[in-house]
A and B are shown apart, each in its own frame.
Chain A
Amino acid sequence: MIDILSFVIFFFIICSFYIISSLGLNIQYGFTGMFNVGIAGFFAVGAYTSAILTGPEYADTIFGGFQLPIILGWLCAIAVSGLAGVLVGLVTLRLREDFLAISTFGIAICIQLVALNWESVTRGPNGLYAIPKPFSRFLDSAVMSNLFYLIICIVTIVAIYYGLERVVKSPWGRVLRSIREDEVAAEALGKNVFMYRLQAFVLGCGIMGLAGAMYANFVRFISPQDFLPIFTIQVYVMLIVGGKGNNLGAIVGAIVIWALWSASDSLINFIVAPDYQTQAAALRIIIVGVVLVLMLLFKPSGILPEKKHLSS
Chain B
Amino acid sequence: MIQYVVDGLVNGSIIALGAVGLSITYNVLRFANFAQGEILAIGAYISMAFIVLMGVGIGSIGPVSFGWPLIASIILSVLVTSVVVLAIDWLLFRILRQRSASRITFIIAAFGLSLIVRNVITLIAGADQMFLSFYIPKAIPVLDNFKVVPDDVLILIITAVCVVSLHTFLSITTVGKKMRAVAENPVLAMVNGINVKSVIRWSWIIGASLSAIAGTLHAHVTQLDPEMGFELILPMFAALIVGGVTNVYGAVLGGFLIGLTEAFAVAIDLSAYRGGIAFLIMIVVLILRPQGILGEKERDD
CB distance from A290 to the nearest CB of B (A): 6
CB distance from A93 to the nearest CB of B (A): 11
Residues from chain A with Cβ under 8 Å of B283 in the complex: 91, 103, 106
Known: A106-B237, A109-B275, A278-B126. A296 touches B108 (CB 8 A): yes
In the complex, are the beta carbons of A91 and B298 less than 8 A apart?
A: no
A98 to B102, CA, bound (A): 12
Number of B residues near A (Cβ < 8 Å) is 45
Residues from chain A with Cβ under 8 Å of B109 in the complex: 292-293, 296-297
Is B50 an interface residue when CB atoms closer than 8 A count as contact? no
Interface residues as binary, B280-291 with A (CB distance below 8 Å gives 1, 0 otherwise): 001100110010
User: Within residues 9 to 41 of chain B, which ones have a CB less than 8 A from any CB in chain A?
Assistant: 26, 31-32, 34
In the complex, are the beta carbons of A296 and B112 less than 8 A apart?
A: yes
In the complex, are the beta carbons of B115 and A229 less than 8 A apart?
A: yes
User: Within residues 84 to 130 of chain B, which ones have a CB less than 8 A from any CB in chain A?
Assistant: 92, 95-96, 99, 101-105, 107-109, 111-113, 115-116, 119-120, 122-123, 126-127
B interface SS class: helix
In the complex, are the beta carbons of A289 and B32 less than 8 A apart?
A: no
In the complex, are the beta carbons of A236 and B108 less than 8 A apart?
A: yes
A236 to B99, CA, bound (A): 20
In the complex, are the beta carbons of B107 and A98 less than 8 A apart?
A: yes
Is B234 an interface residue when CB atoms closer than 8 A count as contact? yes
CB distance from B274 to the nearest CB of A (A): 8
Is A56 an interface residue when CB atoms closer than 8 A count as contact? no
Residues from chain B with Cβ under 8 Å of A279 in the complex: 122-123, 126
Of A110-118, A133-141, A202-210, the one contacting chain B is A110-118
Interface residues as binary, A11-26 with B (CB distance below 8 Å gives 1, 0 otherwise): 0000000000000000
Q: Which of A97, A233, A293 contacts B92 (CB 8 A)?
A: A293
Residues from chain A with Cβ under 8 Å of B112 in the complex: 233, 236, 289, 292-293, 296
Known: A98-B31, A106-B279. A300 touches B101 (CB 8 A): yes
Residues from chain A with Cβ under 8 Å of B92 in the complex: 293, 297
In the complex, are the beta carbons of A101 and B34 less than 8 A apart?
A: yes
Known: A35-B104, A105-B34. A113 touches B276 (CB 8 A): yes
In the complex, are the beta carbons of A105 and B116 less than 8 A apart?
A: no
In the complex, are the beta carbons of B26 and A229 less than 8 A apart?
A: no
In the complex, are the beta carbons of B287 and A91 less than 8 A apart?
A: yes
In the complex, are the beta carbons of B96 and A117 less than 8 A apart?
A: no
Residues from chain B with Cβ under 8 Å of A293 in the complex: 92, 109, 112-113, 116
Task: Select from chain A the residue with minimum beta-carbon distance to B31.
Answer: A98
Residues from chain B with Cβ under 8 Å of A99 in the complex: 241, 286, 290
A48 to B287, CA, bound (A): 28
A56 to B135, CA, bound (A): 49
A33 to B95, CA, bound (A): 21
Of A168-176, A189-197, A280-288, the one contacting chain B is A280-288
Is B230 an interface residue when CB atoms closer than 8 A count as contact? yes
Is B142 an interface residue when CB atoms closer than 8 A count as contact? no
In the complex, are the beta carbons of A230 and B115 less than 8 A apart?
A: yes
User: Within residues 245 to 282 of chain B, which ones have a CB less than 8 A from any CB in chain A?
Assistant: 272-273, 275-276, 279, 282
Known: A102-B237, A233-B112, A289-B113. A297 touches B96 (CB 8 A): yes
Is A308 an interface residue when CB atoms closer than 8 A count as contact? no
In the complex, are the beta carbons of B116 and A289 less than 8 A apart?
A: yes
In the complex, are the beta carbons of A296 and B286 less than 8 A apart?
A: no
Residues from chain A with Cβ under 8 Å of B127 in the complex: 278, 282
A290 to B113, CA, bound (A): 8
A184 to B300, CA, bound (A): 10
Known: A98-B107, A278-B126, A293-B113. A110 touches B286 (CB 8 A): no
Task: Select from chain B the residue with minimum beta-carbon distance to A276.
Answer: B123
Residues from chain A with Cβ under 8 Å of B116 in the complex: 285-286, 289-290, 293
Is A92 an interface residue when CB atoms closer than 8 A count as contact? yes
In the complex, are the beta carbons of B234 and A105 less than 8 A apart?
A: yes
Task: Select from chain A the residue with minimum beta-carbon distance to B109.
Answer: A296
In the complex, are the beta carbons of B119 and A107 less than 8 A apart?
A: no
A289 to B121, CA, bound (A): 14
Residues from chain B with Cβ under 8 Å of A106 in the complex: 234, 237-238, 279, 282-283
Residues from chain B with Cβ under 8 Å of A91 in the complex: 283, 286-287
A278 to B127, CA, bound (A): 7
Which B residues have a C-beta under 8 Å from some C-beta of A? 26, 31-32, 34, 92, 95-96, 99, 101-105, 107-109, 111-113, 115-116, 119-120, 122-123, 126-127, 230, 233-234, 237-238, 241, 272-273, 275-276, 279, 282-283, 286-287, 290, 298, 300
- The 3 A-B residue pairs whose C-beta atoms are closest, nearest first, are A289-B116, A98-B32, A106-B279
Which A residues have a C-beta under 8 Å from some C-beta of B? 29, 33, 35, 37, 91-92, 94-99, 101-103, 105-107, 109-110, 113-114, 116-117, 184, 229-230, 233, 236, 240, 278-279, 282-283, 285-286, 288-290, 292-293, 296-297, 300
- Can you report 15 residue pairs joining A to B where beta carbons are below 8 Å apart? A33-B102, A33-B104, A37-B111, A94-B290, A97-B107, A99-B241, A101-B32, A102-B237, A106-B238, A109-B279, A282-B123, A289-B113, A292-B112, A296-B101, A296-B109
